[in-house]
């Protein structure tokens, strides 16, 4: 029986054969398997691809044990820490490193010359009681795109494009950035499509950081960029303006659509230091599962305190929580 593979399969197969980076090769292998029609004519092909996936997974897992949590080698990934992982990308001298230094305790090399950042560096950014992992990366240009960057971008929860709005070159730099990413199969947007589209492309939510907005020609440049990219969220920032930096923190929290749930032991006061992080629409049972899967299984009911609820409201496991709710679990 013929395999009857779709044209997209052969195009993707060529990319798979050319790729050498293990994480990216694994992603392409999974996409190839998903594209295969499921019938007797592809049984052998499916088995071979599953064997390749298993081999690549082992290779990736062995490689992941060799790097540290914050500074990693060029052919690895960064383990997610905190509520979400936010990767900063942009052209040379856009100010990514200065932002990382201002928003976290990380100390990247900051200089006025381009390509100062040679490898990714992570730090923890705090917004109220939530910690986000913020990653600085090398610049992207027409002829500069580190081989490991596509995988880092794909694994991140949010992409922050850092753009220097003090110069008119920023518009051309953004065009180059979007074009280079599309070459690598990554499309950035202000929202994700409701249905899966072309499997060759990964779509990521992004925010445009209009950095250095108090310098140079920003008052003329920023409106032009907003007009050129309608629908994208622009957040003006400057390391000289603490309020703008906090606006960026708040925007990350809002765009990721997550919420904080605080816990309370029976007979004790609520604990506000280390909240449970859920996606909007998360339930009592999901919050309990974050603590421990067995805890969620044994859960009988919960009491909830929060906006729009009466004090200690008794709720079932499928009760939908809101940001800032306090939950007391009963097993």
**Region 275-289: what's the mean pLDDT?**
93
**Contact of 140 with 149, CB cutoff 8 Å:** yes
Q: Kindly report, residue by residue over 135-179, the tens digit of the pLDDT.
A: 999 999 888 888 888 888 988 999 999 999 998 888 898 999 999
**Contact of 44 with 27, CB cutoff 8 Å:** no
pLDDT at 281: 93
Close Cβ partners of 180 (under 8 Å, ≥ 6 residues apart): 140, 141, 142, 145
Residue 275's H or E segment, with its range, is strand 271-279
Please report which confidence band the pLDDT of residue 304 belongs to, taking 50, 70 and 90 as the band edges.
very high
What pTM does this model have? Answer: 0.76
Please report which confidence band the pLDDT of residue 283 belongs to, taking 50, 70 and 90 as the band edges.
very high
Contacts 24+ apart (CB under 8 A), 308-312: none
pLDDT at 322 over 70: yes
Q: Is the dihedral of CA 219, 224, 225, 231 positive or negative?
A: positive
pLDDT at 117: 58
Q: Kindly report, residue by residue over 254-269, the tens digit of the pLDDT.
A: 999 999 999 988 988 9
Q: Kindly report, residue by residue over 6-34, the tens digit of the pLDDT.
A: 777 887 888 888 887 777 788 788 878 87
Hey, which residues does 127 pair with through a beta bridge?
130
What is the 8-class DSSP label of residue 83?
S
The Cα–Cα gap between 144 and 128 comes to 36
Hey, which residues does 87 pair with through a beta bridge?
135, 159
Please give the structure tokens belonging to residue 248. Answer: 């960026």
The Cα–Cα gap between 221 and 187 comes to 24
pLDDT at 193: 62
Determine the length of the chain. 331
Residue 117's H or E segment, with its range, is none
Greatest alpha-carbon span in the chain: 68
Distances in whole angstroms, Cα of residue 11 to Cα of each of 6, 23, 27: 9, 19, 15
Question: For the ranges 82-91, 109-118, 120-129, which has the lowest average pLDDT?
Answer: 109-118
pLDDT at 69 over 70: no
Which domains, and CATH codes, for the chain?
Answer: 7-64 (no CATH), 85-256 (3.40.50.300), 259-330 (3.10.20.30)
Hey, which residues does 88 pair with through a beta bridge?
160
pLDDT at 68: 41
Close Cβ partners of 302 (under 8 Å, ≥ 6 residues apart): 284, 288, 314, 315, 317, 319, 327, 328, 329, 330
**Contact of 280 with 258, CB cutoff 8 Å:** yes
């Amino acid at each position: 029986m013929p395999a009857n593979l779709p044209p997209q399969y052969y195009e993707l197969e060529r990319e798979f054969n050319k790729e050498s980076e293990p994480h990216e090769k694994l992603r392409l292998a999974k996409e190839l398997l998903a594209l295969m029609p499921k019938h007797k004519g592809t049984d052998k092909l499916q088995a071979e691809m599953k064997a390749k996936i298993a081999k690549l997974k082992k290779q990736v897992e062995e490689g992941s044990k060799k790097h540290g949590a914050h500074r990693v080698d060029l052919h690895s990934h960064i383990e997610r820490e905190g509520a979400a992982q936010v990767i900063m990308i942009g052209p040379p001298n856009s100010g990514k490193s200065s932002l990382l230094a201002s928003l976290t305790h990380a100390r990247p090399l900051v200089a006025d010359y381009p390509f100062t950042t040679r490898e990714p560096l992570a730090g923890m950014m705090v917004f109220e009681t939530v910690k986000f992992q913020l990653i600085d990366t090398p610049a992207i240009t027409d002829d500069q795109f580190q081989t490991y960057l596509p995988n880092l971008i794909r694994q991140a929860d949010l992409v922050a494009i850092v753009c220097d709005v003090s110069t008119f070159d920023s518009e051309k730099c953004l065009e180059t950035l979007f074009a280079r990413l599309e070459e690598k199969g990554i499309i950035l947007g202000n929202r994700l499509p409701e249905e899966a589209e072309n499997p060759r492309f990964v779509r990521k939510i992004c925010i445009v950081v209009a950095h250095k907005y108090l310098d140079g020609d920003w008052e003329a440049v920023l409106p032009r960029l907003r007009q050129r990219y309608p629908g994208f969220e622009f957040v003006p920032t400057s390391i000289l303006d603490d309020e703008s930096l906090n606006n960026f923190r708040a925007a990350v929290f809002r765009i990721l659509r997550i919420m904080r749930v605080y816990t309370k032991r029976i007979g004790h006061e609520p604990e506000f230091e280390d909240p449970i992080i859920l996606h909007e629409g998360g339930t009592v049972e999901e919050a309990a599962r974050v603590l421990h899967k067995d805890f969620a299984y044994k859960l009988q009911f919960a009491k909830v305190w929060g906006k729009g609820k009466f004090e200690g409201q008794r709720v079932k496991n499928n009760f939908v929580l809101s940001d800032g709710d306090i939950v007391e679990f009963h097993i």
